[in-house]
Structure 1
């Protein structure tokens, strides 16, 4: 369940964007990943993958949101994850911002011409929980105010 202060932060951020948005809380049954987002923006729920690791939603203006989990089989750390992503030579992928603590990491940058923001929580239960938000640069003024609240809602059930 989303804490009262996190829920209020999501509502305040949504209200500040001048977009009437209804908050929706997704809970992934397999990994216990939880995130809250405006489901009147991310309206097109994609089919859940066979492995049940998460869910993706699309918006009418080309944005996407993924809330998922994976087993941390390589015993990855936030700092290791950030270092690997910053060193990536994947074409069209560039990290422009990163931050890591002992149990979370944040990345932002460009992927194939879109802006992305990713937050990962490294759980003591051996699960990495992720929220990934991607949107076209033309929609930056719409999504930038939402990213922090959506990413901040990521947690373990």
Structure 2
């Protein structure tokens, strides 16, 4: 399901350096092991597809509710990061961001989209499964964890013929 329209319209725009304070704040509040500011800076420098999701017309100005990072190379896309503001989670915004990134990958003529997800992240796994991602592998010890490392499930989505 997409976000409930009564919550407001979501708009996507390119992420810029001026967004990084907010992006890092959302990331830090949402994840136990967030990306560092430098990682986002590197993605912007590398010209990755870096996007902001905003709710339009909330209070005096638009409200950033999440972000997504996508790398497209040749005919493959790699969803590197997606995050929804903690207070906005569970309302369908994650699905909206993933859908937008899938559309961006298709526009860049990618045939397959890949991502990694923690086995312990049941909500994200359910979202990815619902849009058609399927597990194709495991990266052992891919993610930091409180004790040791956690594997990363490698998922893929065919973008051909959609």
TM-score over 0.5 for the alignment? no
* Greater share of residues in helix: 2
* Greater share of residues in strand: 1
Q: Under a length normalisation based on structure 2, what TM-score does the superposition of the two structures give?
A: 0.29
Q: Under a length normalisation based on structure 1, what TM-score does the superposition of the two structures give?
A: 0.30
